[in-house]
């Protein structure tokens, strides 16, 4: 087992990565959630899938919702919160978030707001959640105007990532998580990016040893960035590489495009924009597209997206300033543009449109 510390002024916590950890869930939860009445929050599918492995968790309730991004709303948050109030739960409650990124974001937001905040554990069961959503303490819900526009910074008490859970994922869901690993190499570690290139076939085949290293290294990269800038006032913005365009594509597709696939497309488009702006060397986008393709991720859209809708979604991105759309852009493999400490660069609508059009 690998234990990776994450430090926040709001509270530090450890990320535990190792095969078979799900069977040790009660013991791992004992210290960070000691003496608390536990509520397990999951989606309908994941809760049933891992009911046997989690039966040792003495939860007073198991609350679920319909799987998918469409459930990550204020309405679902309100229903879950009301159910907890109806159960008579108090501030000695602890929440266990079991599932993918939607579960983690939603259950974390319930934890952040229930009686002004209770602790929670992240138990991610998808690759995308292990590498991204479960680490960092950003929680929230979507609105009709965009993703994660209502939320909070509420770090978990512990994160428990068991790569064995990844073996049961559908291929498309599993591969989608690889986009975050590629992103981590692009933004912070050229050597790690090269390792992913070299081991792409084994990662696609779900080699457990490779997977465990992938999860641990990506978590370490994110932990280092988050510990330095917990409230996204500066360098943490680099974790949004590929995500501004990704969120636009997701919303334009009415969330039919999975998040991880949208991030893959966003990384390619934003690298091309960085090249056109003279920030990144020519060929970077081609190399990024190559590794994404070798991992089974899309580098082109199946249809031409409605650019007006994509731009409208991007106009509501949280990184924007004074009405300008801003992107976190690379200057080389493993290095991002600092832009006076904000780590985001203003980009014209024409450049954004050309970047998205290049995906067709």
Phi-psi map region of 152: left, alpha, beta (phi>0 left; psi -120 to 50 alpha)? beta
- Residue 131 DSSP code: I
Is 180 in the active site?
Answer: yes
Question: What pLDDT score was predicted for residue 312?
Answer: 87
Give the integer Cα–Cα distance in Å for 265 and 77: 30
User: At what angle are helices 243-252 and 307-314 packed, to 10 degrees?
Assistant: 130
- How would residue 139 be classed by pLDDT, with cut points 50, 70 and 90? very high
Catalytic residue among 69, 232, 270, 275: 232
- Give per-residue pLDDT as tens, 69-107: 999 999 999 999 999 999 999 999 999 999 999 999 999
Question: What pLDDT score was predicted for residue 318?
Answer: 64
Q: What is the CA radius of gyration of the chain?
A: 19
pLDDT higher than 90, residue 133: no
Give the integer Cα–Cα distance in Å for 296 and 178: 9
pLDDT higher than 70, residue 271: yes
Is 172 in the active site?
Answer: no
Is 72 in the active site?
Answer: no
Is 154 in the active site?
Answer: no
Question: What pLDDT score was predicted for residue 294?
Answer: 98
Question: What pLDDT score was predicted for residue 228?
Answer: 81
- Give per-residue pLDDT as tens, 329-352: 999 999 999 986 889 999 999 999
Beta bridge partners of 35: none
Q: Tell how strand 59-65 and strand 93-99 pair up.
A: unpaired
Catalytic residue among 16, 235, 240, 272: 240
- Tokens 């079991």 — which residue? 98
pLDDT higher than 80, residue 140: yes
Is 259 in the active site?
Answer: yes
CB–CB of 274/280 below 8 Å? yes
Q: Which long-range contacts (CB under 8 A, 24 or more apart) does 297-300 make?
A: 297/175, 297/176, 297/178, 297/179, 297/260, 297/261, 297/264, 298/261, 298/264, 298/265, 299/264, 299/265, 299/268, 299/359, 300/265, 300/359, 300/360
Nearest to 344 by CA among 360, 316, 324, 314: 324
Question: What pLDDT score was predicted for residue 82?
Answer: 98
Report pTM: 0.92
Question: What pLDDT score was predicted for residue 256?
Answer: 92
Is 232 in the active site?
Answer: yes
What's the chain's average pLDDT? 93
* Residue of higher predicted confidence among 233 and 314: 314
- How would residue 322 be classed by pLDDT, with cut points 50, 70 and 90? low
* Residue of higher predicted confidence among 23 and 317: 23
Tokens of 332: 């080389």
- The share of the chain scoring above pLDDT 70, in percent, equals 98
Question: What pLDDT score was predicted for residue 226?
Answer: 86
Catalytic residue among 180, 250, 261, 275: 180
Other residues' Cβ atoms within 10 Å of the Cβ of residue 208: 13
Residue-range domains of the chain with CATH: 2-168 (3.40.50.1970), 171-357 (1.20.1090.10)
Catalytic residue among 154, 243, 319, 326: 243
Nearest to 164 by CA among 124, 219, 201, 198: 124
Is 222 in the active site?
Answer: yes
Question: What pLDDT score was predicted for residue 119?
Answer: 97
CB–CB of 243/179 below 8 Å? no
Question: What pLDDT score was predicted for residue 35?
Answer: 93
Tokens of 345: 């660069």
Is 60 in the active site?
Answer: no
CB–CB of 331/278 below 8 Å? no
Catalytic residue among 36, 154, 259, 326: 259
Tokens of 279: 């920030």
Is 243 in the active site?
Answer: yes
- Give per-residue pLDDT as tens, 176-227: 999 999 999 999 999 999 999 999 999 999 999 999 999 999 999 999 998 8
CB–CB of 266/244 below 8 Å? yes
């Amino acid at each position: 087992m690998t234990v990776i510390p994450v430090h926040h002024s709001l509270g530090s916590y450890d990320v535990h990565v190792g095969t078979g950890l799900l069977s040790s869930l009660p013991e791992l939860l004992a210290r960070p959630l000691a003496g608390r009445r536990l509520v397990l929050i999951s989606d309908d599918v994941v809760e049933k899938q891992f009911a046997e492995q989690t039966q040792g968790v003495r939860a007073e309730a198991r609350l679920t919702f319909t799987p998918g991004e469409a459930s990550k709303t204020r309405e679902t948050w309100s229903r879950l919160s009301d159910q907890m109030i109806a159960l008579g739960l108090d501030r000695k409650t602890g929440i266990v978030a079991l599932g993918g990124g939607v579960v983690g974001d939603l259950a974390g937001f319930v934890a952040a707001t229930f009686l002004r905040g209770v602790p929670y554990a992240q138990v991610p069961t998808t690759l995308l959640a292990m590498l991204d959503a479960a680490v960092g303490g950003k929680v929230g819900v979507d609105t009709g105007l965009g993703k994660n526009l209502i939320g909070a910074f509420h770090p978990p008490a512990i994160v428990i990532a068991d790569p064995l859970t990844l073996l049961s994922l559908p291929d498309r869901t599993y591969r989608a998580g690889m986009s975050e690993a590629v992103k981590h190499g692009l933004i912070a570690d050229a050597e790690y990016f090269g390792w992913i290139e070299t081991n792409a076939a084994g990662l696609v085949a779900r080699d457990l040893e490779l997977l465990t290293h992938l999860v641990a290294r990506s978590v370490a990269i994110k932990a280092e960035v988050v510990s330095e800038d917990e409230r996204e006032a500066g360098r943490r913005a680099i974790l949004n590489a590929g995500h501004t365009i990704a969120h636009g594509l997701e919303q334009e597709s009415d969330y039919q495009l999975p998040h991880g696939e949208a991030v893959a497309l966003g990384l390619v488009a934003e690298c091309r924009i960085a090249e056109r702006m003279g920030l990144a060397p020519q060929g970077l986008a081609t190399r990024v597209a190559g590794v994404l393709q070798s991992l089974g991720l899309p580098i082109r859209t199946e249809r031409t997206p409605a650019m007006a809708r994509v731009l409208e979604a991007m106009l509501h991105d949280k990184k924007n300033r004074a009405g300008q759309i801003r992107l976190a852009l690379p200057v080389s493999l493993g290095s991002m543009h600092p832009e006076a400490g904000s780590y985001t660069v203003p980009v014209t609508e024409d450049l954004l449109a050309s970047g998205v059009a290049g995906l067709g």
